[in-house]
Amino acid sequence: MVPSDWMFSLESALATLPEGPDGRFAYPIRHGSMRVGVYAPLGIDEQAPHEQDELYIIASGTGTFTKNGERRPFKPGDAIFVEAHALHRFEDFSDDFATWVIFWGPKGGE
């Protein structure tokens, strides 16, 4: 079955985000084990490791991404792979930071 909402622009996905500093995350597209979300934290990224593999595609903003202790700068258009259970977070990001995030596959990663 094809989801009824199968295409989103960044602007329409950001409009689905809850107000306030907490919960700046929404999944506008889901199918099977795959979830496509938009993530736009305010000020600080307090996420914990996830049970599935994930892929971030930076939509706007700049900053630094830390994974398992290694830090790298990011900018719009960059893709970042994070394996299941890896420690990671966005740091020192600009106020306009937003990213697509795609989760898929079994718990524990592929």
The residues spanned by each domain of the chain are 1-46, 48-88
Closest CA to 100 of 14, 31, 38: 38
pLDDT at 68 over 90: yes
Evaluate if residue 3 carries a pLDDT over 60: no
Give the residue-averaged pLDDT of 39-53.
93
Q: Residue 13: helix, strand or coil by DSSP?
A: helix
Question: What's the pLDDT tens digit per position in 74-90?
Answer: 999 999 999 999 999 99
The three-state secondary structure class of 3 is coil
Percent of the chain with pLDDT over 90: 66
- Counting Cα atoms < 13 Å in the Cβ hemisphere of 23 gives 6
Does pLDDT of 15 surpass 60? Answer: yes
HSE at residue 106, side-chain half, CA atoms within 13 A, is 2
Residue 11: per-residue pLDDT = 81
Q: What is the pTM of this model?
A: 0.88
Per-residue pLDDT band at 21 (split at 50, 70, 90): low
